[in-house]
Amino acid sequence: MKVKAIIEEDYTNYKLPCMMIATTKCDWKCCIEVGLPTTTCQNNPLVQAKTIDVSADEIFRRYISNPITKAVCFGGLEPILQFDEIVEVIKYFREHGCDDKFVIYTGYDAKEITDQIEVLRKLKNIIIKFGRYIPNQEPHYDEVLGVDLASNNQRGKVIS
């Protein structure tokens, strides 16, 4: 899988300690739709980070060797643009006996990615954070994720 970064222990994106995997692509829909330059995105600096290739096996070994982490989170840019790679990693974990939660942070709404959701429903313990960032909104606490989200249209949802 191509990634921009792997944070071994993250405490900001999910209620449980998680491994955070920053993906490599974005279509900048959040900025484009509200007429903002892409440089205003909080994740824009990731574009400049070096892209590295990490196998599903290496991600699994790094995750499983850490007794603190209890979930894996994909985010950073737009994970759905690397959907096949994400599914490959999740399947690898499942095939190797790890049913821990996977959290996918997407700027898409559920109706925009129905095909991908159907694939993810067949896997176990998947949560998706849906919704674009909209500037100048009050953060709100999301019960599913256990964290504050930046825009009131964003929600975490258990998929499977």
Provide the mean pLDDT of the chain: 96
Would the pLDDT of 136 be above 90? no
Report which of residues 137 and 15 the model is more confident about.
15
DSSP bridge partners of 5: 22
Among 26-35, 63-72, 112-121, name the one with the lowest average pLDDT. 26-35
Q: How confident is the model at residue 115 (pLDDT cuts 50, 70, 90)?
A: very high
The mean per-residue pLDDT over the stretch 86-109 comes to 98
The predicted structure's pLDDT at residue 7: 97
The predicted structure's pLDDT at residue 58: 98
> Within 10 Å of residue 152's Cβ, how many Cβ atoms?
12
Using the structure block, give the residue that is written with the tokens 């095939």.
95
Instruction: Judge contact between 88 and 112, C-beta under 8 A.
Output: no
- Using one digit for the tens of pLDDT, what is the confidence trace for 48-94? 999 999 999 999 999 999 999 999 999 999 999 999 999 999 999 99
Would the pLDDT of 135 be above 90? no
Give the number of C-alpha atoms closer than 13 A to the C-alpha of residue 157, restricted to the C-beta side: 13
Sign of the torsion formed by the C-alpha atoms of 155, 90, 93 and 10:
negative
The predicted structure's pLDDT at residue 155: 98
Would the pLDDT of 42 be above 90? no
